[in-house]
Amino acid sequence: MPQLNKITVLGSGIMGHGIAQISAMNGYQVVLRDIEQRFLDSAMDKIKWSLDKLVEKNKIKKEESEKIYGRIKPIVELKDALIDTDLLIEAVPEDLNLKKKVYSEVDQFAEEKTVYASNTSTLPISEISQLTSRPDRFIGLHFFNPPQLMKLVEVIPGARTEKSIVDLGINLVKSLGKDPVLCNKDVPGFIVNRIFIPLVHEAAYCLESDGKTMTQIDSAVKFKLFLPMGIFELADYTGIDVIHKATFEMYSRDKKVIYPHPMIAQLFSSGKLGKKSGDGFYSYGDKNYERVPLSEEEAKQYDPIRMLSVALNNASWLITNNVCNNEDLELALRLGMGLKKELFEIGKEYGFEKIINTLNQLKKGNESFYTPDPYLVTLSK
Ligand SMILES: NC(=O)c1ccc[n+]([C@@H]2O[C@H](COP(=O)([O-])OP(=O)(O)OC[C@H]3O[C@@H](n4cnc5c(N)ncnc54)[C@H](O)[C@@H]3O)[C@@H](O)[C@H]2O)c1
């Protein structure tokens, strides 16, 4: 397995600067590359701010924070950014054409030894890797936002990724103090988004048809499905633009994996992007950490069986298709979505038979999306 000393992170935005910071915090030499100096300046300011906070909270010493900061070199010139790099982690915007362009530039300068990794949330790893000079040494490393805090990293081999590169990805993630979950197949949405994104759309169908308020549905999601917040709230927190983009990418790859509700596209086109724009499903004030008030009382007004059934059906699909095993699935949901109880445990308490009946009812609306997965069917017997 190749040794990793130097990492180049391409893109210094939300994800890139965080990945650069945690890599430097764990001893790697890091180059952070963006297309303009001003983006790098802003990224380095954010890293400094975050390291200062860690010093303030006594998590690290001042001298250590200076050393970490000193390990990150911001560089605009791509050729220089790639000198002697062992691993490239690409975190440029989620646009296949842009990524294609970026990899063709990278291929001109990257050294033979450099392994490529992409932080894409939804684009096919196999397809991106085929466009490069090294599909066998290319891997998906899907960090979650914010990378400084989120423990989960989905590790996704493409069709031609060598086993040694999968091991390298897993070891790197562990060396960053994170928990890797292997996503054996390059499927739309990988593991967490394969469950989360369709769930947001399902919540919109529930809102439309069940005659309940958003806070009643969200309260039920929080108190009966054990998510850390409501699903509409989580969508606003993630960003409606992110959800809209992921929906588009997943749906264009496979129509069966998602049943898009028009509400998401409507919110997106009217600029209601969630917390970041002050408006999404909910409206927000100026306060940074404002939370939607949800209560156990309101949770009593709604049975979230439809959402639970869809989440379980998609989770079962991942297991049936050997994308991941049950244990990794639960770990990914706990670390990636903050689920406080095992999904299949919640299913068991509701009763798998009831869940299958719910899906069979829904099947009339969209057969390919709601048909119960064979794994779920076996649990109901
Ligand atoms: N934001 C999230 O919640 C999240 C979570 C997980 C994964 N991702 C994935 O991470 C990737 C980056 O997302 P983001 O939210 O950090 O985007 P972002 O828009 O915040 O940052 C992207 C950065 O890439 C830079 N860039 C553009 N072209 C470049 C090039 N040729 N070379 C180097 N830098 C370039 C931009 O200037 C920008 O600073 C995407 O693939 C996204 O799907 C995002």
CA distance 68 to 137: 28
Instruction: Kindly give the number of the ligand 1 atom that is closest to the alpha carbon of 39.
Output: 39
The verdict on the CB of residue 8 being under 6 Å from ligand 1 is no
Instruction: Kindly give the number of the ligand 1 atom that is closest to the alpha carbon of 105.
Output: 31
Best substitution site from 9, 10, 14, 32 to test ligand 1's pocket, by max atoms within 8 Å of Cβ?
14
**Which of 12, 23, 65, 193 does the annotation list as catalytic?**
193
Amino acid identity at 185: K
175 flagged as catalytic: no
158 close to 126: Cβ distance less than 8 angstroms = yes
244 flagged as catalytic: no
Best substitution site from 9, 12, 15 to test ligand 1's pocket, by max atoms within 8 Å of Cβ?
15
The verdict on the CB of residue 17 being under 6 Å from ligand 1 is no
43 CA from centroid of ligand 1 (Å): 12
* pLDDT per residue of the chain (381 residues) written in tens, 0 to 9: 667 999 999 999 999 999 999 999 999 999 999 999 999 999 999 999 999 999 999 999 999 999 999 999 999 999 999 999 999 999 999 999 999 999 999 999 999 999 999 999 999 999 999 999 999 999 999 999 999 999 999 999 999 999 999 999 999 999 999 999 999 999 999 999 999 999 999 999 999 999 999 999 999 999 999 999 999 999 999 999 999 999 999 999 999 999 999 999 999 999 999 999 999 999 988 766 678 889 999 999 999 999 999 999 999 999 999 999 999 999 999 999 999 999 999 999 999 999 999 999 999 989 999 999 999 999 998
pLDDT at 285: 81
Residue nearest atom 9 of ligand 1, based on CA coordinates: 120
Q: Which domains does the chain have, with CATH numbers?
A: 6-182 (3.40.50.720), 192-379 (1.10.1040.50)
pLDDT at 343: 98
The reply to whether the predicted model has a pTM over 0.85 is yes
**Which of 142, 201, 244, 261 does the annotation list as catalytic?**
142
193 flagged as catalytic: yes
Amino acid identity at 142: H
Burial class (CB in 10 A: 0-12, 13-18, 19+), 249: buried
Dihedral sign for Cα 279, 283, 284, 289, please: negative
Side-by-side strand order, sheet with 72-75: 72-75, 29-33, 6-10, 87-90, 115-118, 138-143, 152-157, 179-182
154 flagged as catalytic: yes
